């Protein structure tokens, strides 16, 4: 996973970041709400941990701004307040879960894992226009015809489907397909070219789109 922690308590933040790294989870950190929102706008995270009380911009405002921009990354809110009114305010701003301070690091990890799976990890079937993708069978069908995808081509298609209709950056796509074994610079370009020929060549509606400065997206022309 790749997550973001927005927390102004630097000692707590260091403890959380170190713990997540031990659990093989990448954890970026921002010390205030404005910096956190900038990172959220620039990167694609699996989950976000927000403290409510922060300088410059509080967690509720950060979360509300995200949702207004259409960013659907799951959010876990950290708070020292546990009244019903406080939680209702947080849910109204767009948060997905709450954890009251002080908390156990293992519980934080479990909750973040659960949130990250809600958005994409457990989905088995995707439908984008006339394209159907079955992640259990690792199969894609467009307009009733099964596509003969290579293993790498399928991985790229699934990675795009899991974020559809949002764009996926080139770096995120490479990591989703190859992990830490980064290929040569032309590999993604070649595989995308071949994938486009299979998915889009016999159709008037191209689904795999290049989004300037943002990456690539799998989306219906209507989107």
Q: What's the pLDDT tens digit per position in 92-122?
A: 778 888 888 889 999 999 999 888 866 544 4
Note down the domain range covering 113: 2-121
The pLDDT assigned to 186 comes to 85
Query: Do 75 and 163 lie in a common domain?
Result: no
Output the pLDDT for position 120. 41
Q: 121, 140, 159: which is the final residue of a domain?
A: 121
Q: What is the CATH number of the domain that holds 214?
A: 1.10.10.10
Give the integer Cα–Cα distance in Å for 66 and 22: 29
Are both 8 and 105 inside the same structural domain?
yes
Within this chain, do residues 116 and 131 fall inside the same structural domain, yes or no? no
Of 121, 139, 168, which residue constitutes the final position of a domain? 121
Establish if 50 belongs to a structural domain.
yes
Query: Is residue 223 in some structural domain?
Result: no
pLDDT at 34 over 90: yes
Q: Are residues 83 and 177 in the same domain?
A: no
Domain identity same for 117 and 129: no
The answer on pLDDT for 52 being more than 80 is yes
Together in a domain, 150 and 183:
yes
Model confidence pLDDT, tens digit, residues 136-192? 888 999 988 999 999 999 999 998 988 888 888 888 888 888 887 777 778 899 999
Residue-wise pLDDT for 58-67, tens only, equals: 988 998 888 8
Whole-prediction pTM value?
Answer: 0.57
CA distance 178 to 181: 6
Residues 134 and 54 in one domain: no
* Averaged pLDDT for residues 195-203: 85
Q: Is residue 40 part of a domain?
A: yes
């Amino acid at each position: 996973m790749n997550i973001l922690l927005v927390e102004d308590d630097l000692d707590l933040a260091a403890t959380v970041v170190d713990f997540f790294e031990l659990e093989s989870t990448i954890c970026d950190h921002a010390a205030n709400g404005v910096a956190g929102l900038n990172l959220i706008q620039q990167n694609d995270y699996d989950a976000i941990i927000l403290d409510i009380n922060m300088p410059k911009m509080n967690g509720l405002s950060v979360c509300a701004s995200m949702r207004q921009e259409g960013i659907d990354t799951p959010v876990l809110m950290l708070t020292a307040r546990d009244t019903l009114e406080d939680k209702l305010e947080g849910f109204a701003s767009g948060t997905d879960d709450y954890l009251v301070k002080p908390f156990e690091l293992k519980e934080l990890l479990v909750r973040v894992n659960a949130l990250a799976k809600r958005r994409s990890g457990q989905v088995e079937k995707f439908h984008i226009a006339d394209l159907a993708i079955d992640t259990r069978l690792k199969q894609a069908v467009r307009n009733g015809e099964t596509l003969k995808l290579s293993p790498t081509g399928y991985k790229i298609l699934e990675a795009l489907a899991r974020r559809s209709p949002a764009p996926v950056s080139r770096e995120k796509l490479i990591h989703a397909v190859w992990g830490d074994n980064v290929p040569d610079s032309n590999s993604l370009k070649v595989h995308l070219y071949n994938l486009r020929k299979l998915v889009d060549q016999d159709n008037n509606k191209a689904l795999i789109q290049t989004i300037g400065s943002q990456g690539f997206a799998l989306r219906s022309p209507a989107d």
